[in-house]
Amino acid sequence: MNAAPITPTMSSERAREIAAAFDLRALPADFYANPFPVYAALREHEPVRRMPDGSWFLTRYADLVAVYRDAQGFSSDKKVEFTPKYGAGSALLAHHTTSLVFNDPPLHTRVRKLIMGALTRRAIAGMEPGLVGLVDGLLDRLQAQGGGDLIEDFAAAIPVEIIGNLLGVPHEERGPLRDWSLVILGALEPRLTPEQEERGNRSVSEMLDYLRVLVAQRRRQPGDPEHDVLTRLIQGEQGGEQLSEPELLQNCIFILNAGHETTTNLIGNALVALQEWPAQKESLLRAIGRQPDWNALEPVMTVAVDEFLRFESSNQLGNRRAVKAMDVGGVRLEEGALVTLCIGAANRDPAQFERPDELDLARANNRHLAFGFGIHQCAGLSLARLEGRVAIGRFLARFPGYRLAAPPVRGGRARFRGFLHAPFAVA
């Protein structure tokens, strides 16, 4: 891509140049800080963009929905795409082609049904008291030290504990989970260095070694399948087919990773965005102040969380493969075409959202795609919303005057949009 600066406001000619040169495998450094001007240029000039490697990049909301709806025409199976990327026989290939999100029915259906059985509305409601206690404990620690890091000391600590509880990972064994997750998900980036690939393979192998021991223990001492996802996965549906050992282990990795990275990004992105949109922060603080009863805040916080997800989608990119020649957005895609769905661009599409580049925490009818759409819509979306509501709401109630103590550091990734560090101080 042309190395000239990308700016939020640019001429039509400059936007056309950016769209014509866009290559997901050769992104300029300033893209990671703010990709949205690039997305806007693509939506306007090349919304169905043929990239140099022959794949397609989609940026319009309507086009993404059309692909999501057509699970028969567009496959989520990644064996064709990931085999040359990771290499036959690699740990990364085995993981990313066996997990729930990168598979089609019937494997996808079997695993999703088992997971959803432990994520019922009643089960999630039962998690709230423990989540409140966890968040308040983290806030007590931050208050005592006068601040900390929004990511390391708060946002990242919450989903690790929640997902660890779902799978029954002992508290003293949760230390490596975040690092494993960051490395394995980082290997999904469009372009990998040899070091990233090596670390990714090593992390999958280490995580599998740990899970084999955990699964063996759970087979000997099963948990409550109504709440313990690992026990549900081990036992399977009554009278139904059980998961094979590789399917079981790889989907445990998926649950730990999927529930960790995206929720961390939701919480961190939201608290940083509120520093950049002070009027929206003040409006949310007024709403919190008017409701002494925490439960009464749920509708306000749900709307706010969905807007944070739209505005800074935790997961910016998805992928599909056309199983036959298909028309998308007026463009003919060949059979076998690899397609990247740009969720971050679709969630800022002015054809779907008014004032899409503005954070509006009272936005109505917010049908964002941060959780995907169709049969692959995020299985943990209700849990993620709960974590976001409680974490963001209680943080603001405790620290209404918090401020960033240094510029936050982005993660430097195209697929997962979040921060690595965001030092802050309490007022």
Chain-centre distance of CA 70, in angstroms?
22
Instruction: Identify the band that residue 166 occupies on the pLDDT scale cut at 50, 70 and 90.
Output: confident
Q: On the CB side of 101, how many CA atoms lie within 13 Å of its CA?
A: 23
Give this prediction's pTM.
0.92
**Which residues on neighbouring strands pair with residue 419, listed in sequence order?**
410
pLDDT of residue 3: 43
Q: For residue range 72-87, what is the model confidence (pLDDT) as tens digits?
A: 999 999 999 999 999 9
pLDDT of residue 170: 93
Q: For residue range 285-342, what is the model confidence (pLDDT) as tens digits?
A: 999 887 667 777 888 999 999 999 999 999 999 999 999 999 999 999 999 999 999 9
> What's 241's DSSP letter?
P
C-alpha distance from residue 283 to each of 176, 211, 402, 418 (Å): 38, 45, 15, 24
Average the pLDDT over each of 94-103, 228-237, 330-339 and give the range with the smallest value: 228-237
pLDDT > 90 in the chain, percent:
70
pLDDT of residue 215: 95
Which three-class secondary structure state does DSSP give residue 320?
A: strand
Tokens 């819509």 found at: 377
Strands 338-342 and 56-58: parallel
Q: Contact at 8 Å (CB) between 426 and 185?
A: no
Listed by start position, the domains of the chain span 86-317+377-425
Q: For residue range 339-361, what is the model confidence (pLDDT) as tens digits?
A: 999 999 999 999 999 999 999 99
Strands 326-328 and 331-333: antiparallel
Instruction: Identify the band that residue 139 occupies on the pLDDT scale cut at 50, 70 and 90.
Output: very high
- What does the buried/exposed string (b/e) look like for 81-98 if buried means 16 or more CB atoms within 10 Å of the residue's CB? bbeebbeeebbbbbbbbb
Q: For residue range 179-194, what is the model confidence (pLDDT) as tens digits?
A: 999 899 999 988 889 9
Instruction: Identify the band that residue 105 occupies on the pLDDT scale cut at 50, 70 and 90.
Output: confident
* Topology, domain 86-317+377-425: Cytochrome p450 (1.10.630)
Tokens 């929640």 found at: 162
Q: Contact at 8 Å (CB) between 218 and 231?
A: yes
Q: For residue range 256-270, what is the model confidence (pLDDT) as tens digits?
A: 888 888 999 999 999
Token pair in block for residue 379: 């299985």
